[in-house]
Structures are given as structure tokens and as C-alpha cells.
Amino acid sequence: MFQVFSIIAACADVYSTILFVYVLMSWIPMREGILADVNAFLAKICEPYLQLFRRFIPPLGGMIDVSPIVALVVLQLGVRLLYRIFFI
């Protein structure tokens, strides 16, 4: 059972890193090139998850999107909750 949890936790860590990189890349203006392609690929991976939170959390002041922060916290809390359920 611990091996399954380890795989889930590792996948959550990788996805958290991907989300973090996607958010950082959103600050860089891109029109074309390899960075734009990487950003488009990351958007396909990250946007479905982020849209879950954007439905309930509007941007602050119409400009600052805090949904990635909430999404990362929820992802990490989910991993910790699974750990508590199965190992404590």
C-alpha cells in the first residue's frame, strides 16, 4: 500500500511542479517559438484543473488570479489527506 501512495505522492509533486512552471511562464509574453509551444503544451495539462477553481474564485481586482495558489494547496492537502487515511 505504501508503494501505491508513494507513486501518487510523486505524481502530485510532478504535477505541482508543472503547475508552478506554467504559472511562471504565464508572466512572460510569448508569441511564437519554443517557449510558446511549451506554454501551449503546459496549458493543455494545467488549464482543466485550474478551471475547476476559476469557476469559484474570481480574479482579485480583475487582474490577479489566485486560483493557481488554491489549486496547489488543494493538491498538496489531498496528498496529505490520503496519507492520513491510509497510514495513521
pLDDT in tens, 27-61: 888 888 899 999 999 999 999 999 999 999 988 88
Q: Which residues of 20-40 are buried (b: 16+ CB within 10 A; e: fewer)?
A: eebbebeeeeeeeeeeeeebe
Residue 2 confidence (pLDDT): 81
Give the global pTM.
0.86
**pLDDT tens by residue, 69-81:** 999 999 999 999 9
Domain count, the chain: 1
- Residue range(s) defining the domain that contains residue 53: 2-87
Contact 46, 25 (CB under 8 A): no
Q: CA 26, 30, 35: angle at the middle one, nearest 5?
A: 85
